[in-house]
Amino acid sequence: MHGARILAGFMPPHVLERIMSHGNTRLQQCARMTLQADAQFRLRHASAPMARPADSGRPGQVARYIYSAGNQQTLPGNLVREEGAPESGDVAVDEAYQWLGATHLFYWQVFERDSIDGDGMALLGTVHYGEDYDNAFWNGAQMVFGDGDGELFNRFTAALDVVAHELTHGVIEREAGLVYADQSGALNESLADVFGAMVKQHHFEQDVEEADWLIGEGLLTERVNGRALRSMAKPGTAYDDPVLGKDPQPGHMDDFVRTSSDNGGVHINSGIPNRAFYLAATSLGGFAWEQAGPVWFDALTDPRLQRDGDFAQFARLTVDCAAKRFGNDSDATQAVNQAWIDVGVLS
């Protein structure tokens, strides 16, 4: 285990802060309550660990436990569905169960990784957290999902890539322990997006041309002028809305955002490595998890990746990992190298 665990929420704080200044009275209250809940959770995070249910007994077998917080902020809440049990009839419960399973299956089938820790760790999820809570997060032990406010955001179990993104923070925590600030923090967020996107593509059997390359598609209600929270293909184009503002993500180092908020812009500058993965994957064609994906996974799990590694260090690692896997002069290695050049990280 590397360093202190972080509360990596899916919702960028700059979005919630924008709602507090541009939303109606109810939306302002929802955003304020979400930010307060997140801050309080960070303070409570050092408390005694919860008693965990049993992990999987067989390699590659998933063990899921879904709880309901009943719109309170107590974790994990009441157990409402566990592995092998039939559908509960609660859509959030059953979505969480399905998407935890899809994420587990991806890591097992594609990388032979047995759950988050590689050793069959049980997957826990709590739904109906708080009232109108506009976030989902991984807290180092489990997944937590809000129901959304219903005006701007739907329930956070609705999007498979949101679930996979947050679970991937658990993988990153165990493998690389990337410091959640500045470029290493943006890299942390980007890797969660990269694997979140691949889980979705894997589940729906989409190749790089069929995939939408959106993160959080389905999360925004029809009232919002936007398609998702982030676009890996075209960072900065996911939404442009009177309440949410305009997607601030850059897609090139020339537009790197220097800010003290959001831990140094971890949810903003992640657009740059996101676009690099998109460029590499689409250049190679086929299924993203068959060529570009393994290279990114090799780099994530490479002991040379430093906890405070920046974009350039990770980029060089991916090129090296591609060369080891496919050969120095392979199309894959050239595509990976060119992708990082195209976003201004390598020259």
Q: What is the pLDDT of residue 8?
A: 67
Q: In whole angstroms, give the CA distance from residue 292 to residue 284.
A: 8
Residue from 87, 91, 79 nearest 142 by CA = 79
**Residue 212 pLDDT more than 70?**
yes
| Candidate list 151, 166, 173, 189, residue with the active-site label | 166
**Whether pTM exceeds 0.85:** yes
CA distance 339 to 347: 11
148 torsion bin: left (phi>0), alpha (psi -120 to 50), beta (else): left
Q: What are the chain's domains?
A: 8-175 (3.10.170.10), 182-342 (1.10.390.10)
pLDDT-based confidence at 140, cuts 50/70/90?
confident
CB 66 within 8 A of CB 80: yes
pLDDT (0 to 100) of residue 336: 98
Query: Which residues are within 8 A (CB) of 285 and not within 5 positions of it... i.e. 6 or more apart?
Result: 207, 208, 209
- Cα(178)–Cα(192) distance, rounded to whole angstroms? 12
**pLDDT tens digits, 214-261:** 999 999 999 999 999 999 999 999 999 999 999 999 999 999 999 999
* DSSP assignment string, 65-122: EEEE-TTSS-SS-EEEEETTPPP-S-HHHHHHHHHHHHHHHHHHHHH---STTSS-PP
Q: What is the pLDDT of residue 341?
A: 98
The mean predicted confidence, pLDDT, of the chain is: 94
Question: What was the pLDDT predicted at 4?
Answer: 42
2 is known as an active-site residue: no
**In which region does residue 305 sit, left (phi positive, over 0), alpha (psi from -120 to 50) or beta (all else)?**
beta
The angle at the Cα of 175, spanning 106 to 135, to the nearest 5 degrees, equals 65
User: What is the pLDDT at residue 46?
Assistant: 45
Active site residue 166: yes
Which residue among 104, 165, 203, 267 is the active-site one? 267
Extended strands (E) in the chain: 8-9, 64-68, 78-82, 123-127, 136-138, 143-145, 214-215, 230-231, 240-241, 245-246
d(CA 172, CA 168) in angstroms, rounded, equals 6
Query: From CA 139, how far away is CA 37, in angstroms rounded?
Result: 13
The per-residue pLDDT for 6 is 58
Counting Cβ atoms within 10 Å, is residue 28 exposed (0-12), middle (13-18) or buried (19+)?
middle
Q: For 3-59, write each residue's pLDDT tens digit.
A: 445 566 899 999 999 999 999 999 999 999 999 988 877 666 544 456 788 898 899
